Structure formats: structure tokens, C-alpha cells
Amino acid sequence: MYETIQVLHSYLAYVALAMLIIAVINAVSGLVSKRIFTMDKDLRISLFALILCHIQLVVGLILYFVSPSGLSAIQEFGMGGLTSAARLLAVEHPFINILAIASITIGWSRHKKFVEGDKKFKSIAIFYGVGLVLILSRIPWSQWF
């Protein structure tokens, strides 16, 4: 079961990251071109990115708690005894990605309060962009390739 969840988390990360990049690019291009925020395209791209990121978070949290090395490494060695790679997987990756998903969720919630398209695009561009940067900063790149 652990291996299945790990594979799902790994492959879903590519899809969620790609969709998040598309949502940020769409929001920035809409903001720059002063486009009208449409329900068909712009809303669906942003919503799909939000949903995929939340699914990825849930799968990641399940993986964290069923992992044989997640919490047990912290309990066994303490925070000072972890290597930088173990600390990245046990602490930094989950914590920063939770903050990233919170930022994306705030961007989604804020965009719904606005009527003007430029404010909607700006909210999504800023908060999804912050979430994207946070996620990219804590991806365990050595395990990705």
C-alpha cells in the first residue's frame, strides 16, 4: 500500500505542478492583457489547479503518516540527528507545501470576492504564484529525476 501511495504522489505531482503553472501563466496573461475573467476558461483552469493541489496534499499527508520513515525518523534521531535530505522529507517538504496550498486556497477565496477581471487575475496570479514558488523550493529534486 505504501508503494502505491508513493507512486500516486509522485506522478500526481507532475500533473498538479503543470496545472498550477498553467493557472499562474493564465492569470498573469489575463492581468497583462486586461482580459475579461471568463467562467468557461479562466475559472476552470484556476479551479482545476486548486483541486489537483488539494488532492496532492491529501495524498501526501496519507503518505507521510503511513511512511515507514516519516515520523519514526524524527522520533528516533530527533531534529538535530536528521541529515539534510531526511529533514527535507520529514519536515520542510510537508510544512512548506501545506503553506503553499494555504496560499493557493487564499487566492481562490479572494478571487471570488471581486467582480472586476483584473482583480480576480491579480489575486490568482499573486497567491497561486507564491504557492508555486514555495512548492518548487521544497521539491526533493534528487528523487524526481
Q: Give the per-residue pLDDT at 74.
A: 66
Q: pLDDT tens across 85-98, in order?
A: 777 777 888 899 99
Contact 91, 74 (CB under 8 A): yes
Closest CA relative to residue 56, chosen from 23, 97, 1: 97
Q: Give the per-residue pLDDT at 68.
A: 72
Whether the model clears a pTM of 0.85, i.e. scores above it, the answer is: yes
3-class secondary structure, 35: coil
Q: pLDDT tens across 89-140, in order?
A: 778 888 999 999 999 999 999 998 988 888 999 999 999 999 999 999 988 7
Q: pLDDT tens across 13-67, in order?
A: 999 999 999 999 999 999 999 898 888 899 999 999 999 999 999 999 998 888 7
